[in-house]
Amino acid sequence: MNAGLEGVVAAKTVLSQVNGVEGRLIVRGHDIEALAGQMSFEAMAALLWRDLAPTNLTETQTATALEIARQDAFEKVPALLTAAKGLTVVEGLRTGLSLLSENEDSHVTVTAAIPVFIAALHRASQGLAPVAPSLGRAQVADFFAMLNGEPASELLVGALETYLLTVSDHGMNASTFTARVVAATRAGTVASTVAALCALSGPLHGGAPGPVLDMLDEVGDFSRVDGWIDRHLGDGERLMGFGHRVYRTRDPRADVLKGVVNRVQNTRARMALAEAVEKAAIGALAARYPDRNLETNVELFTAVLLEGIGLPRELFTPVFAMGRVLGWTAHIYEQVASSRLIRPASSYVGPLPEGAPLLAVAG
Ligand code: ACO
């Protein structure tokens, strides 16, 4: 039995390769460093969806399709805000995606709806009215405008766009696997995306960056770093932003994001503390798990970056979904094309009816 399915290959994919030994991420034939920060969100969407989605669109056509779909999503906002009263933004987003109908371009529908819903849910939590999407704006710039009620600087838009591309696809991670399991039942793209978002929201996956900032807040000062780490590891807790199922070395995405953080203003003090925590955490984890090589993952610098560009921490996981939805939707089409239901086996260890012979059967 292999409870975490480590090393089990359950799909062939043209989307991404996570090389955990070399610390290398290849997405559709390119190193992640050659994509993130080098192309637009729309170009990345076109690249990931190419030859998998029902229609191949250029970057410009993708931008137009997303613009129109954001307008459609905004029509759902009144129903969303009624249904999501009292929910957190990630819970509200889950609810919002469930309001969408399956259609032949569901990948565009869900990708466009996510920023519209996040912005409206956040503004509602602040007692503010939703701001409508604008035709003629690209997805990331439009997100900032819908969130803050005014356009953001090119630097902030570029920083968020780099982040979204960095996390847009990453092999058979927990949420992508979830999407593929649901897609394999032919439940549809919207249903598969809702399921993927639920998997993403856990603190061991996409829910980590909020707790990373909580950790940095609690540590507070350089003099407290070692003591805080020893105490928390001693209590058997996990250090958020460290460790990975696949990487046996540094997560390459951490360095892509570190480069962007250094360009964003007001991150210097946070970054210095994060780097001190990083150094101490890697040392303490190596001492505790000498055979495991636990290093920094993408979430440490995600937290510093998203805070630096002015996003509140309860938006971190939903904003992760804004990027990862590109990978989810591409994997959903790829899974449906492979036409194989995913159905692993379990080993029964419960009691047997009296008199039944003891058989080791996996089923
Ligand atoms: N802090 C403390 N201990 C850790 C950490 C950590 N960050 N990561 C792993 N360990 C421990 C495990 O508890 C385990 O100890 P045990 O054998 O005594 O139970 C040992 O190291 C080996 O664990 P792994 O097999 O390497 O971990 P696994 O592959 O099961 O989990 C995971 C990977 C969930 C990412 C883990 O490293 C973790 O919990 N990290 C903190 C949460 C986090 O940062 N999540 C974001 C991941 S990136 C992403 O999903 C986008």
Question: At residue 22, does pLDDT exceed 90?
Answer: yes
Give tens-digit pLDDT for 294-303.
999 999 999 9
Instruction: Kindly report the protein residue whose alpha carbon is nearest to atom 49 of ligand 1.
Output: 205
Residue 184 reports pLDDT greater than 90 = yes
- State pLDDT tens for residues 234-286: 999 999 999 999 999 889 999 999 999 989 988 899 999 999 999 999 999 99
Dihedral (CA of 351, 355, 358, 363) sign: negative
121 has pLDDT over 80: yes
Q: Which residues line ligand 1 (CB under 6 A)?
A: 4, 204-206, 208, 238-245, 289, 292, 294, 297-299
pLDDT at position 158: 97
Query: What CATH class has 209-308?
Result: mainly alpha
Residue 244 falls in the annotated catalytic set: yes
Question: What's residue 354's pLDDT?
Answer: 87
Ligand 1 center from residue 290 Cα (angstroms)? 14
Burial label, 265 (beta-carbon count in 10 A; 0-12, 13-18, 19+):
exposed
Q: For residue 299, report the distance from its CA to the centre of ligand 1, in Å.
A: 12
Q: What interhelical angle do 174-184 and 189-200 show, nearest 10?
A: 150
Spatial separation of the C-alpha atoms in residues 233 and 38, rounded to whole Å: 39
Q: What's the CA gap between 96 and 73, in Å, rounded?
A: 9
Where along the chain do the CATH 1.10.580.10 domains lie? 16-204+313-338
Q: How confident is the model at residue 359 (pLDDT cuts 50, 70, 90)?
A: confident
CATH 1.10.490.10 given to domain 16-204+313-338: no
Instruction: Output 293 or 360, whichever has higher pLDDT.
Output: 293
Q: Is 178 exposed, middle or buried (0-12, 13-18, 19+ CB in 10 A)?
A: buried
Average pLDDT over residues 209-213: 91
Q: How confident is the model at residue 29 (pLDDT cuts 50, 70, 90)?
A: very high
Summarised one tens digit per residue, pLDDT across range 215-232 is 999 999 999 999 999 999
**Distance, first Cα to last Cα, the chain:** 12
- The pLDDT score that the predictor gives to residue 266 is 85
In the prediction, which pLDDT does 328 show? 98
Residue nearest ligand 1's atom 31 by CA: 245
pLDDT of res. 350:
92
Q: What is the average pLDDT value for the chain, to the nearest integer? A: 95
Q: Please state the rounded mean pLDDT for residues 115-139.
A: 98
Calculate mean pLDDT across residues 338-348.
Answer: 92
**Catalytic one of 170, 205, 244, 331:** 244
Please name the residue that has the structure tokens 């350089």. 222
Q: Which residue has the higher pLDDT, 161 or 363?
A: 161
Helix and strand numbers (H, E) in the chain are: 15, 3
Q: What is the pTM of this model?
A: 0.95
- Which one from 299, 307, 331, 334 is the annotated catalytic residue? 299
Q: Counting atoms of ligand 1 from 1, which one is nearest the CA of 237?
A: 2
The pLDDT value given to residue 192? 98
> Residue 357 pLDDT > 80, yes or no?
no
- The DSSP annotation for 27-65 comes to ETTEEGGGTTTTS-HHHHHHHHHTTTSSS---HHHHHHH
Confidence bin at 355 (pLDDT 50/70/90): confident
**237 a catalytic residue:** no
* Cα gap 123→144, rounded to integer Å: 12
Task: Measure 245 CA to ligand 1 centroid, in angstroms.
Answer: 7
CATH 1.10.230.10, the chain: domain bounds: 209-308
